[in-house]
Amino acid sequence: MPLLQTIPIGSDGQARLWEVTESEAFLSQGIELTPHCQQRMQGMKSELHRRAFLSVRHLMALAGYVDQDLHYDAQGKPHLRDGSFISISHSFSLTAIVVHKNIPVGIDVEMQRQKILRIAHKFTPFPLVQPENVLLLTHIWACKESIYKIAGTPGLSFLHHIEVWPAADAFYGRIPKNLAVATEAFDYFSLHPFEALAYAGVWATLLASRSTNEALAVKSYEVASANNTLY
């Protein structure tokens, strides 16, 4: 079983990574898909995508869930029927999930590639298009993707609506709470980067309003804004 890594998130959450090395037939063993997910998988032309899809169900099993516990809303955001929060990601042969009982969470994994240098201007205003910044840019993209997954808001722009900034060995992020109305109220996020094999990723949590952690994020934002280090 190529469970690559388990990352604890306090006492009520975990992120898990899986390296997809097994055959589709092997990964199908012991997995019962809902009719909806069977249809989704049958529509996947790529064998690697089907294998990744099945490996996510093995990650769910490690977290104590089966496919029947999962459903998707109109925006394609996954939910667990017991009310816990879940996020799912995959890139080539790496899959990941994060589950938390109480806090909205997001996760994103990406293969580290030079290609990100060419598209950096589409998701960050900060000039980072040097080869040595591939890892940082990949983490910035993953930060914004993780926030996007938590928000579940169609039309959310990585470049214009999501701000990310460094804080010690992690990141913070924020988006307007209501994009339809001009507002100074923001949701803040705690963002935690990691590396695995040739990949980089981030898991994220929504910070509770008026909490100590949110206050730290707000103060950190003020410093980053003054220092022009907003990504």
Measure the N-to-C terminal CA separation of the chain; round to a whole number of Å. Answer: 37
**For residues 207 and 189, is the Cβ–Cβ distance under 8 A?**
yes
Contacts of 98 (CB under 8 A, 6+ apart): 9, 13, 14, 15, 16, 86, 87, 105, 106, 107, 203
- pLDDT averages per 10-residue partition of the chain, 231 residues: 91 97 96 93 95 98 97 93 98 98 98 96 90 94 98 91 93 88 83 98 95 94 93 96
**For residues 77 and 85, is the Cβ–Cβ distance under 8 A?**
no
Whole-prediction pTM: 0.94
Give the position of tokens 């890594």.
5
pLDDT score at 182 = 64
pLDDT score at 153 = 87
**For residues 40 and 67, is the Cβ–Cβ distance under 8 A?**
no
Domains and CATH numbers, the chain: 1-102 (3.90.470.20), 110-231 (no CATH)
**For residues 7 and 18, is the Cβ–Cβ distance under 8 A?**
no
